Every structure is written in C-alpha cells, then in structure tokens.
Structure 1
C-alpha cells in the first residue's frame, strides 16, 4: 500500500500554467480511467479547482515520474515545464496534504470552506469512474472527518474570507458606493453564488447573472433578486455594468477585447471593474490593456486576501495539530488493519493444519490404534507442521545474513527469556 498526492497549485504555478493543467468536470471520469490504465494505479481521484490540480493515488508501488509523464502528455505540456511546478507527497505526507487541503490550510484564502465541497465532488466523480477503492475511499472519509473537526473546533472558519469576498472587497475600494452600481456575474457555480451573496449584503443596486443555461442562472438570480440572462446577452449587459466578475468552467474565453471596447464607447468610458476568477480564464488578458478597465485575475487578489487573513492565523496552528493528529491516526488504523489481515491468514493456516492432523488422528482411532499413541502422534505431527514453514524461512534468512528478520522472529515468538535460560541453565 502506498498513497501519492501529486499536483500543482497557486504557490507553485502561475495562472497561465494552472489553466493548462485544469481538468474540466465533463472529462474527469475518462481522465481517471485513462490514468489507471496507463500508470497501473489501483485507485485514483482528481481534484481540479481554479487554484490547484491534484491527483490522489493508491498503489503497492507508485512511480511519480510515470504519473507526471501521463499528466504532461494528457495536457500536452513538456515534462520539464511540469516538473518545475509540480510537487509530490507520499504515504503519510500525502495523507496529511489531503487533510490540509480539505481543511483550507493550503488554500490561497486560509480556511476557505469551498475546498471541502470540491474535495467531496472529487470523491463522487472517482466513485462514478470506478477508480475509488477501499483504501482511497477510507482516506477520503478520514479527510472529511478531520476537516469537519478543524471547522468545528477552531476559529479558522470565522470572519468570512474567500476569493469571492476578496473580489467584492476590491470592488468596494474602487466604487465607494455599491448601492449605485450594477454587477454582471458570469457563471452560476458556488464561487459566483458567494459573490452574489456578498454583493447583495453590501446593498448593490442591481445584479445580472449570465450563464450558459438560463434555468441555472434563474435559480441563482431568484435568491438575490437578480436578473438572469444567457451568455449571448453579455454584450448588451456590459453597457450598464460597473462590476464584472466571472467564474465558469469554459475552456475558451467568454469575454473578448472587442466586446469590452464597444461597451466602453457606449458608456462614454465610464470605468469597469473586472475580476476573472476562472481557470482557464474567462476574460481575454488583452482586455486589461484597455483604458478605463481594471482587470484582476485570481492571482491579483492575493494582496487583498492577505489583509483579511490576520484573524485566522492564530487558529491555523490549532488546525495544523488536528490535521497531524488525523493523519497519524489514519495511518495507525491502516497499519493495524494490515496486522489483522496477517493474523487472519496465520490463524487460517494453523486451523487447516489442525484439521488435517485431527482427521488423521480420528482415522487411527477408528483403526484401533491406542488413544495415548494417537494423542502423541497428533501432538508431534501438529508441532512439526506448524514449525515447518517458519523453520524453512528462518534458515533462508540466516543464510542470507538477515539478522534483522531473526531478531523480529525472536521478538515475535517472545523467545528472549527462553534463549537466555537455555544459555544459563541453573
């Protein structure tokens, strides 16, 4: 058994690299199946967000280079480029990394809660793909439990801080009175929902939600008294939008320089504040070259986020202790489970040998052999058979100079006192 956590995140890779390594939701199932076929891993899951793309794997022996090669080939990246940004954690370090991620300790926004939901989605997709087995499944459950403890037993979740909150905070710096502003939100996922909630709480004048499907946009819009439109309606809505915040799963930009330039002319160059939270990006980077446009990516939000993190830093130490404890307990349970499996096999072998000798003894009794002779043969035969395999293996270990194995056998069978008494008879 070996766990591996491999990936890139906002600390190791720029948004330009992260968007190229992102896995779209509709392709994750096939990607997982391909990953298992190509690398031979027994269990696998993919976590892909705007800030990270990570693979969680389980296999008897895992070759991280083999997995990196698959990842580079899948996303058509050079292996050298990927190596520069990738990190690898194995076994207990991988377990601890997963728990830190789910608890929000490895996020751009310390303690942000959305990542736990995204981790649960990764679990569900892996189960759908058939790549989630008993070991990785138990690891995910232990991860969820630890993340829940961090959220419940520490103050890391207090004071709402997220990419969505940071985007709204930045908008407030540019537009001092949001009650006179209109916001265009592109997408209808969890992040945009949070953005809408924060804007609504700030009393923004009007919110428009644009999405690929009108039904999804309408469901979100209803919560905050907003107006729902399709993506095709964005050019018309841009004219009246002071704030544009986008977060979709689109592989191609939704908003280009031409559309924004046209809207600015109709607005008589009244400024537009834009935040592109998506990876891959929804808004062409060239839009930022336009005058009267303030375009920010997720990486640009870092400074705003840092200011809002101070209240959570003290809670992070307590959270780290819970994560370390959770990882240690999980690994201990796995080791105990491995011992149980060995004990079951050992007991079954002993019971099979016992049954063979008992059947032989019964045959001798039925044939008239004296009972005391049968009992002596039963005891002798059972002892010989129970000792045969260990005797053969110990001789091999001794011939190979495996003193460590001999010492373990001595400890396993509690032979220390007996061997000492044999060397020093009274």
Structure 2
C-alpha cells in the first residue's frame, strides 16, 4: 500500500522523552498488514534532486534523527545515501489521535508551527510521485516520521509531505528488496547500495532498534542483493556511478583529472579515472593528509582546497564528491577556457555552482543530468530476471512459517518473561536482589530470542 500523509501527530514543539501509545480515532479501524513494516521514502526518480539536497543529513543530524525515531518506534532503520533518504519503521507505538508526552523538548530544530502542520494535510492531499492512493496509511507513525524529519532538516512538514512516498506491509518489504537489488538506483545495479544498507542496519543494531521484523526483511534484502549480482550480473550492467558518469563524459584517456574530496565516492572516482587511463590525477581535499593517502594509492598527487583555482585552470576533467553543505567550485574560480573542461558533480548537496554550466567550453554533469542520460541502461532481460528474484524473496517472507512465526515466538518469550518477572517480584522481598534477578531473566530471554530469531529485543 502506498500513500501520502494527511495530518499532524506531534505537538508543536516538544519531543517525547519516552515512547507513547495512543488509541485509534473513534470509528477508524487501522488497516491490517501481513508485515508490520512501513517506509517513508525520498529518492531519485520520485523526488527532485533540488529537494533531496535539503535532506542530505550526515553526522550528528543523522544520528539525532535516528535517536528521535527510536523514542516512537520499536524498530527503526534510516537508509541515507547520496540520492535517497528512506526511513523504515516497525512495531509502531503511534496511532492517529495520539497525544505525546511533551516533558522533554528539542526546540532547536525546524519550526513545525500549527500553521505548517495544519497545512500538511492539504499539501499532502495530492499524491506523491509513485503513490497509488492518498490518505493516511492507518498508522499515525508516518506523520510522526515527517514531523521528526522536519525538525532535523529545517523544512516545513507540508513540503516533506508533498515529496514523500509511503509504503506499508508487503509493499514496504518489496521496496527495500528492490532497492537492495539495485533496481531503484540512479544507476541500475548500483554496486554500493548493498554496503550502504548493511551500514544502515549496523547503525540500527548499535541503537538497539533492529528487532525481528527488520532483521528478517533486511537479511532477506541483503541476500537478494548479493544474488542479483552473483546470479544475474546486475552489477556488470551498472559498474559504478563514477564509471558511468565518465562514459557519459566521453573519452578521457591521457587527460589531466582533478578529484575533489577524499571519501568513499572520491576513492571510486580515483579508481575509475585510473582504469580510464587518464594522465595526471590530482586529489584535493579539506584534509590534505587524507587527500594524500588517497593519492598515494594510485600514484596521484595531493593538494589543499585553496589551490583549486590553479588546478581548475589546467585540468581537463573534474570529479567532485564531498560532503560540504555549500558550493566548493564557483564560476570565479574557473578561468576562461580555451580547451574543454568536463565537470562531474556527484555530491548531494551539489559541490558545483550550477552557473558554471553556462560558461563557454565547460560541460557540467550533475546527478540530475546523469539520471536522464542513464535511463534505460540495463537490458530488459537482466532487469526482468532480478524482478523475478525480488518477487520470490517477497513471497518467501510472506510465507506463514517465516516472519509471522518469528513474531509469534518473540511474543511468547516476552509473555513468559513477564510471567516469571511477576513471580520473582512476589517471591523476592529485597529490592536489590529482585532487580538483579529480573535483569538476569531479561538477559537470558534476550539471548534465547537472539539465538532463535537472530535479533535481540530492545532493553
């Protein structure tokens, strides 16, 4: 089921200090779903890159969002890449009409005033791209996700609602598996997405927000992603985004190249340029030591960002992929060109001022322009084969013996633990001894759950 968001569920300013449970509005029955998973997604193909730039959360902002979400949901996974932000939740503790505990506040985040949140309903009335229905999903959690995100990215809820696509149940499962197989990427068969999903899951485990639902679905998605590569060669169709960008740029053999940045995308760029048999490669970064370490791996040279104007005047190809929140390359930094200059901007937000693309002898390739150039890149046969793999994986998870059994077992263990804890409370009068006993019981139950279902509950 896919939908957009209709109303506001959070108080005006305060964030809750603990999870809360609310009742469904009178006369409104929640929709049932075979898998209690939902996703609020912003990704290329459905969300304009100009808007995705505002959702490029990193570092403390991304960690803060994950912490915010765990106050409302039993299970949370945030998948944040250069061209997507997707928030998966399960074990929902919020329903339409809920009232939150407002004892704790994070008032430094974005303004989600009553005007903004009330406007979210009308703004979300028109379906987001890819949505098949408007209206609430039957859970209040989707509205909560948007409002928590609004506080972190500084955008009004109504704008987020206009661009969000929401799936729940089997559709959410299918979407995650499709993503892991590389079928929803800017570059079909993207080699990086499996690693990015694994890292997102590890972050969820670190916060103890990866329960049995996420464990089952994510592990199935990762397995499908590996199978798409191993059995169907989807990655051979794609290569890497950097390599594809260089193909669009045209022959670069023997040319001088400049790579701006020293992160994972910059490392891919350096490797792709070396494979393309360019001449000299210069790696420029804010941290010169990091840039030098990357340059040494391929026999390149390193430079500080302050020397960009010098190098921009003599190189033929530029690949920029930093995590900066502002433009690294601007028109005044690039002298008039007699020979062509190709600038590939793979950052989100963009590293390069779009105005540079209007300069004579300068060709600017951005994620947005690459999306158009790379459309229809994979063979129909390959895509169909991987789509069949996605279908088979979803059907496997939907089998009665799969996720439903896991959830039932987890619930049974929780019920047993509660009963034994009550017995200990009656039998042990000393508070300290009783606390130690109940803690030991909880740890034992969690270990049994982990061994049987592969996932620990939140402690």
Scaled by the length of structure 2, what TM-score is found?
A: 0.68
Equivalent pair of 1:103/1:111 in contact (CA under 8 Å): yes
- Counterpart of 1:218 (choices 277, 280, 292) is 292
- Counterpart of 1:13 (choices 41, 47, 68) is 47
- Structure 2 distance, partners of 1:348, 1:42, is 18
Q: How far apart are 1:48 and its partner, in Å?
A: 1.5
With over 3 angstroms needed to count, the CA separation of the structure-2 counterparts of 1:343 and 1:217, relative to structure 1, is closer
Residue pairs, 1:104-183, within 5 angstroms: 104-172=182-250, 176=251, 178-183=252-257
Size of the aligned set, in residue pairs, is 338
- Structure 1 distance, partners of 2:415, 2:145, is 36
Counterpart in the other structure of 2:315: 241
With over 3 angstroms needed to count, the CA separation of the structure-2 counterparts of 1:232 and 1:161, relative to structure 1, is same
Q: How far apart are 1:25 and its partner, in Å?
A: 3.5
Counterpart in the other structure of 1:412: none
Counterpart in the other structure of 1:55: 87
Residue 297 (structure 1) aligned with residue 366 (structure 2):
yes
Q: How far apart are 1:114 and its partner, in Å?
A: 0.9
Q: Can you list the C-alpha shifts for 1:17-44, whole angstroms capped at 9, x where unaligned?
A: 000012113432222102233xx11121
Q: How far apart are 1:316 and its partner, in Å?
A: 1.5
Q: Secondary structure at the match of 1:99?
A: helix
Q: Secondary structure at the match of 2:236?
A: coil
With over 3 angstroms needed to count, the CA separation of the structure-2 counterparts of 1:137 and 1:35, relative to structure 1, is same
- Structure 2 distance, partners of 1:196, 1:36, is 38
Aligned CA RMSD, in angstroms, stands at 2.6
Q: RCO greater where, 1 or 2, for CA within 8 Å and sep 6 or more?
A: 2
- Structure 2 distance, partners of 1:345, 1:152, is 39
With over 3 angstroms needed to count, the CA separation of the structure-2 counterparts of 1:185 and 1:79, relative to structure 1, is same
Counterpart in the other structure of 2:116: none
Q: How far apart are 1:341 and its partner, in Å?
A: 5.2
Q: Secondary structure at the match of 1:43?
A: strand
Counterpart in the other structure of 1:33: 67
Equivalent pair of 1:29/1:126 in contact (CA under 8 Å): no
Equivalent pair of 1:162/1:305 in contact (CA under 8 Å): no
Counterpart in the other structure of 1:46: 78
Equivalent pair of 1:166/1:304 in contact (CA under 8 Å): no
- Counterpart of 2:333 (choices 239, 256, 259) is 259
Q: Can you list the C-alpha shifts for 1:395-424, whole angstroms capped at 9, x where unaligned?
A: xxxxxxxxxxxxxxxxxxxxxxxxxxxxxx
- Structure 1 distance, partners of 2:59, 2:332, is 29
- Structure 2 distance, partners of 1:244, 1:169, is 14
Equivalent pair of 2:188/2:237 in contact (CA under 8 Å): no
Equivalent pair of 2:216/2:403 in contact (CA under 8 Å): no
Higher helix share: 1
Residue 326 (structure 1) aligned with residue 404 (structure 2):
no
Residue pairs, 1:308-319, within 5 angstroms: 309-311=377-379, 313-319=380-386
Equivalent pair of 1:161/1:305 in contact (CA under 8 Å): no
Q: Secondary structure at the match of 2:343?
A: strand
- Structure 2 distance, partners of 1:119, 1:276, is 23
Range with greater deviation from structure 2 (184-193 or 104-113): 184-193
In our comparison, the structure showing a higher alpha carbon Rg is 1
Range with greater deviation from structure 2 (339-348 or 141-150): 339-348
Equivalent pair of 1:32/1:131 in contact (CA under 8 Å): no
Q: How far apart are 1:343 and its partner, in Å?
A: 6.7
Scaled by the length of structure 1, what TM-score is found?
A: 0.73
Counterpart in the other structure of 2:23: none
With over 3 angstroms needed to count, the CA separation of the structure-2 counterparts of 1:184 and 1:2, relative to structure 1, is same
- Structure 1 distance, partners of 2:207, 2:292, is 31
Q: How far apart are 1:134 and its partner, in Å?
A: 3.9
Equivalent pair of 2:228/2:389 in contact (CA under 8 Å): yes
Equivalent pair of 2:187/2:238 in contact (CA under 8 Å): no
Equivalent pair of 2:188/2:378 in contact (CA under 8 Å): no
- Structure 2 distance, partners of 1:345, 1:74, is 34
Structure 1 gaps, min length 5: 350-426
Q: Secondary structure at the match of 1:179?
A: coil
Counterpart in the other structure of 1:416: none
- Counterpart of 1:3 (choices 37, 52, 58) is 37
- Structure 1 distance, partners of 2:162, 2:190, is 27
Q: How far apart are 1:274 and its partner, in Å?
A: 0.7
Q: Secondary structure at the match of 1:157?
A: helix
Q: Can you list the C-alpha shifts for 1:260-319, whole angstroms capped at 9, x where unaligned?
A: 2xx33xx5x333211111111111122223222211211101243236x243x3112121
- Structure 2 distance, partners of 1:108, 1:271, is 26
With over 3 angstroms needed to count, the CA separation of the structure-2 counterparts of 1:271 and 1:346, relative to structure 1, is closer
Q: How far apart are 1:86 and its partner, in Å?
A: 1.0
